[in-house]
Structure 1
Amino acid sequence: MIDKEVLNQCGDFILKEGRLLEKELYKHFFIEDNTQNVLQALLKYQNEDGGFGHGLEPDALLPLSSPFQTTVALAHLKDLDKQEEALIIIEQAIHYLESQYNKKRHGWFALPKEVNEYPHTIWWEFDEKKQMTAIDEHYGNPTAEVIAYLVRYKQYVRTLDVDDLVNYMLEYIENIELFQCEHELYCFIALYHELDGHLKERLKKQLSKAVHQLVEYNQVKWKTEYVPTPLSFVKHPTMIYFGIDKTQIDFNLDYLVQELTENHKITPSWGSNFYEGNFKKSFSDWIAIQTLETLIILKNFNRI
């Protein structure tokens, strides 16, 4: 259990070192409802085309809009979509995503080639020969998550056949035997939570298989390697656990409580070596982001 003193120490770190967005999100979840301030902080990353960029996810500082960064924004906005102001932003984002649909790919590429002109980590390097980033090697990232938001906000979709896109994605994942990328699964989990009935059941079967293949239970690796933990897949007790035993969830929660109690922050396991010069600030931003995300998970599981 995180006590009030530890929570305040973690909060002080976020409020001192985090970006405006993380500061406002911390206040929103742990101090008072400040939805308007969160929306204003998010708007700093939105472009006139309705999409999001400007390093919202700090591993790529490209100011131009991209489908990937727009899904990052929508992940925040969906939790605020009872507000009319949020729905206006969401509608603009959905129209942007429609404009970026690639018919040949039957989906979306994460980032445009211009990413190479701005600070970015190596996994976001645009390969001119392949005409995509390494992230795009796994088709479902970000396409499955984009479709999740098209399903959720179907009333704003003007040009795409959402049902066709969903069926295509289900057929894609059902043909995978060996899963290799947890980030692709996170996108499919986002889609899972927006589906109903038999479509949801179809996806659940494959996701349980995929999580079983990729989840890492070794706590030593949690600290030293970039691996998906049980809580990478299950962020709220009301979520389906995809075959992960509750005991493993509790172990993971205990681990996070200990980390925050001892350090008052969560430092990304992939380390700071990818961030040099003017790019160093991005790693500091990640510490605040991961600390906040951890606090929210602990709050969801009544560990605060």
Structure 2
Amino acid sequence: MDLFTAARDFLRTDGRLVERRLFATVFEGADPVGVVDALRGYQNADGGFGHALEPDKRCPDSQGLDVETAFDVLLAAGARDDEVVRRACDWLQSVATPEGAVSLCTPAIENYPRAEHMAEWTYQPDLNPTAGLVGRLYALGVEHPWREQAATWCAKILANGFPGDAHALHESMEYLEHGPGEVDLEPVREHLAKVSFYRARADDPEYGVTPLHFAPAPDSAWRPLFTDDQIAGHLDRLIADQQPDGGWAITWEPPGPAAELEYRGVETLRALRVLKAYDRLPTS
């Protein structure tokens, strides 16, 4: 069985509805309205998203991390539903600091099972996720007062330098690529080697953010940061990391078996999309 068929069967067997609908849209030409319909089940009355859309915390309450996940799903599907997005922005505005910054999570997650790394640091308003949310809103083409306010805050913070964590840097690069900021490769290139959790080498077995996260497609603004050999090496590694059941594994400890399967579905779909973008799928 080839890589694509094995991954498809894994998603059909063990993936959540939202990943199955997204797979059908991206790879089988299904109407993206089905993806939006699946996302609606995760949207709360307050407009935010929760219910473990991002699977590492099993909290039903709205969280910034789940809103970001919803935006990612919409972008991957090429779906547009301004009402869904604007309601989420209304919620972001309601929980933001006076300057517009938001946090990944709230202390509400403490009342539910969660991965060990989902701790107090996620309660702090920061570039992660504020910059990433702003960048994704620009990519979605949805205007909102919170987007403009938060963009101003991001520009102010980034004027003082880039963050030292690869996750926050990735979020900042989403903002710089899609938002009102400018793409300047050289400062990012110089800073990248200094950040924590950046996995530059394809043979590094540790958890980390790789060049394929920063440049998930050849037309990414950040693709020139990496050599052809780097990208090829990480694509080879991505292919080699497919598991015997057809899915991709995760490299951290989830809160339970259901969360592990759910996140494996997320990562499997991400791997397929990256391989498709770089023309490394045997079939689709």
The residue number in structure 2 matching 1:170 is 155
The residue number in structure 1 matching 2:55 is 58
CA shift, 1:34, in A, is 2.9
User: Amino acid of the residue matched to residue 118 of structure 1?
Assistant: Y
Further displaced range: 256-265 or 71-80: 256-265
| Corresponding residue to 1:302 among 264, 279, 282 | 279
CA shift, 1:63, in A, is 0.3
The residue number in structure 2 matching 1:192 is 176
User: Amino acid of the residue matched to residue 110 of structure 1?
Assistant: L
Aligned residues of 2:33 and 2:79 also touching (Cα < 8 A): no
CA distance in structure 2 between the partners assigned to 1:180 and 1:229 by the alignment: 15
The residue number in structure 1 matching 2:193 is 212
Q: Which has the higher helix share?
A: 1
- Structure 1 length as normaliser, TM-score? 0.82
CA shift, 1:161, in A, is 7.3
* TM-superposition CA deviations, 1:63-107 (whole Å, max 9, x none): 011222111101222345664xx222112112221222111x651
The residue number in structure 2 matching 1:130 is none
| Corresponding residue to 1:41 among 38, 44, 51 | 38
1:251 and 2:233 correspond: yes
CA distance in structure 1 between the partners assigned to 2:207 and 2:273 by the alignment: 20
* TM-superposition CA deviations, 1:175-203 (whole Å, max 9, x none): 237x431111221122122235xx3135x
The residue number in structure 2 matching 1:128 is none
User: Amino acid of the residue matched to residue 172 of structure 1?
Assistant: I
CA distance in structure 2 between the partners assigned to 1:161 and 1:267 by the alignment: 34
| SS of equivalent residue, structure 2 residue 183 | helix
| SS of equivalent residue, structure 2 residue 182 | helix
The residue number in structure 1 matching 2:105 is 111
User: Amino acid of the residue matched to residue 302 of structure 1?
Assistant: D
- Structure 2 length as normaliser, TM-score? 0.87
| Corresponding residue to 1:14 among 4, 7, 11 | 11
1:147 and 2:134 correspond: yes
CA shift, 1:113, in A, is 1.2
User: Amino acid of the residue matched to residue 113 of structure 1?
Assistant: P
* TM-superposition CA deviations, 1:110-148 (whole Å, max 9, x none): 2121110011112222xxxxxxx2235682111112222
Aligned residues of 1:110 and 1:142 also touching (Cα < 8 A): yes
Aligned residues of 2:132 and 2:171 also touching (Cα < 8 A): yes
CA shift, 1:252, in A, is 0.8
Give the direction of change, closer, same or farther, for the CA distance of 1:102–1:20 in structure 2 (3 Å limit): same
User: Amino acid of the residue matched to residue 44 of structure 1?
Assistant: G
Aligned residues of 2:6 and 2:245 also touching (Cα < 8 A): no
Give the direction of change, closer, same or farther, for the CA distance of 1:64–1:56 in structure 2 (3 Å limit): same
Further displaced range: 143-152 or 12-21: 143-152
Aligned length: 278
1:291 and 2:268 correspond: yes
Give the direction of change, closer, same or farther, for the CA distance of 1:170–1:206 in structure 2 (3 Å limit): farther
CA distance in structure 1 between the partners assigned to 2:265 and 2:175 by the alignment: 27
CA distance in structure 2 between the partners assigned to 1:247 and 1:184 by the alignment: 25
Larger radius of gyration: 1
Q: Percent identity?
A: 22
* TM-superposition CA deviations, 1:8-34 (whole Å, max 9, x none): 111101110111111111111222223
Aligned residues of 1:94 and 1:150 also touching (Cα < 8 A): no
The residue number in structure 2 matching 1:27 is 24
The residue number in structure 2 matching 1:264 is 246
